[in-house]
Amino acid sequence: MTPKTSSGHPQHIIVGLVVLVCFTALFFMYYKPAISWLPCPRTEPTPDTCKHVCLDVPKMEKAAQLGNNCTLNYTMVQQQTADTQSPVLESAQNTKVVLIWSWPFGHHFNLDSCGSELGITGCRLTDDRSQLDKAHGVMFHLRDIGGDLSYLLTLSRPPLQKWVWMNMESPANSPQLPGADHLFNLTSNYRRDSDIWVPYGRLIEASEEDKKTFQIPTKDKLVCWIVSNWNVNYKRVGYFNELSKYINVEGYGRHFDKYIDQDDYAKVMSSCKFYLSFENSIYKDYMTEKLFNALKYGTVPVVIGPPRVNYEEYIPGDSFIHIDDFGSPQELAEHLKLLDQNQEMYEQYFAWRKYFTVKESPFGLEHACRICEYLNKNHNFRVFTNINQWYWS
């Protein structure tokens, strides 16, 4: 007969219960679950209790920054963790405010389009001068400063705020600012040595759709020129007068009493085999919309401007004709007539369209957005000690 305890149960059952109790105790002493399902105590906990119970939740390290009080529940700590990592908050902290002191030439643009137009984020543009003390940068268009200069010299500004001199006219068509030494921190200009470089246009890699759809437009004119600013002292005027003796040039614009609107502009330019992309003044890097519009609308630009080597830093050498390549306007005229008679030679000027397309720079908008982009990336000291010497020397 099996012996029994005084309570009447078999002895091996008691042994089994003891083993079970010991195993359970060891389990809770040494097992730490990956996800804590234990509630935080509602009474004041010890530091060890807080560490091992409350904070043993994924990413609960953030709670330790709140102290050792574990009365915060899981949901509250989780929300705190999410908030500190919120892209919205990070974006707000990194947003740079750029004040447009005056609209360049009165040209307004969408203040909210840095992202959509240029893919530049972390920017807020404003034209509200009451925000001057909050702006990280202020854009001043040179031609619109005028009588504001004396007023600007009296303004106090935050030590870290950057004042940006912005100008897209050549030195010959830009007013100097006597007394503006040390006034500006940065420059934004077409010149490559500007702090914030914004050319009139650029060639970018063409999309597959652009490569497939581009065709040389139908031509019914040989040489064209659209011009309003006529000055007999300009090199381009003298050259045109000589060139037109040897080849017919279709003239448009105010000077020729043939005003055309924007729609007609594109149609006229694309209908010409060659377009006179003659700059009004000759300076390094000064290649304006006269060049990039010709390339965009499918004609071959004939250029007056900086040397060929400077053009070739921006566009392929076989995409344009430079007057410096010819001994005289008459020689140029003869070359244009030759190309008119040889379609294969003419089409070689469009070989670049297999790889590139033209991207214009939105005037004013790109400057403001690039200023913002610069401020987000650069936090160094910078001041222009003599803006006049730099630009007009």
CATH for 230: 3.40.50.11660
Higher-pLDDT residue of 93 and 383 is 383
pLDDT at 120 over 60: yes
> What's the confidence (pLDDT) of residue 146?
87
> What's the confidence (pLDDT) of residue 252?
97
pLDDT per residue as tens digits for the range 28-63: 455 444 433 334 443 444 444 333 333 333 333 333
Residues 218 and 310 in one domain: yes
Residues 57 and 182 in one domain: no
φ and ψ at 78, to 5 degrees? -60, -40
> What's the confidence (pLDDT) of residue 86?
34
> What's the confidence (pLDDT) of residue 39?
40
Cα–Cα dist 280/349, whole Å:
24
pLDDT at 14 over 90: no
> What's the confidence (pLDDT) of residue 43?
40
Mean pLDDT score across all residues of the chain: 84
Which residues, in sequence order, are bridge partners of residue 224? 250, 275
Residues 250 and 306 in one domain: yes
Lowest model confidence (mean pLDDT) among 3-12, 25-34, 62-71: 62-71
147 pLDDT tier (thresholds 50, 70, 90): confident
pLDDT per residue as tens digits for the range 182-193: 999 999 999 999
Query: Exactly one of 169, 279, 366, 373 is catalytic; which is it?
Result: 169
Lowest model confidence (mean pLDDT) among 27-31, 311-315, 377-381, 385-389: 27-31
Lowest model confidence (mean pLDDT) among 64-78, 124-138, 260-274: 64-78
pLDDT at 12 over 90: no
Residues 224 and 268 in one domain: yes
Q: Cβ distance 175 to 165 under 8 Å? A: no
Active-site residue 169, yes or no?
Answer: yes
Residues 175 and 214 in one domain: no
Residue 334 belongs to some domain of the structure: yes
Q: Which residue segment(s) compose the domain that 13 sits in?
A: 1-31
pLDDT per residue as tens digits for the range 244-299: 999 999 999 999 999 999 889 999 999 999 999 999 999 999 999 999 999 999 99
> What's the confidence (pLDDT) of residue 114?
97
Cα–Cα dist 225/258, whole Å:
11
Taking the chain, what is the end-to-end CA distance rounded to the nearest angstrom? Answer: 120
CATH for 136: 3.40.50
Higher-pLDDT residue of 254 and 91 is 254
pLDDT per residue as tens digits for the range 181-230: 899 999 999 999 999 999 999 999 999 999 989 999 999 999 999 999 99
Residues 42 and 15 in one domain: no
Residues 345 and 368 in one domain: no
Residues 213 and 343 in one domain: yes
State the residue for tokens 């004013």.
364
Domain count, the chain: 4
Residues 72 and 109 in one domain: no
Residues 261 and 339 in one domain: yes
Picking from 139, 135, 193, the residue whose alpha carbon sits closest to that of residue 160 is 135
Residue 204 belongs to some domain of the structure: no
Residues 229 and 103 in one domain: no
Residues 119 and 230 in one domain: no
290 Cβ contact partners less than 8 Å away, ≥ 6 residues apart: 277, 278, 279, 301
Residue 203 belongs to some domain of the structure: no
pLDDT per residue as tens digits for the range 311-356: 999 999 999 999 999 999 999 999 999 999 999 999 999 999 999 9
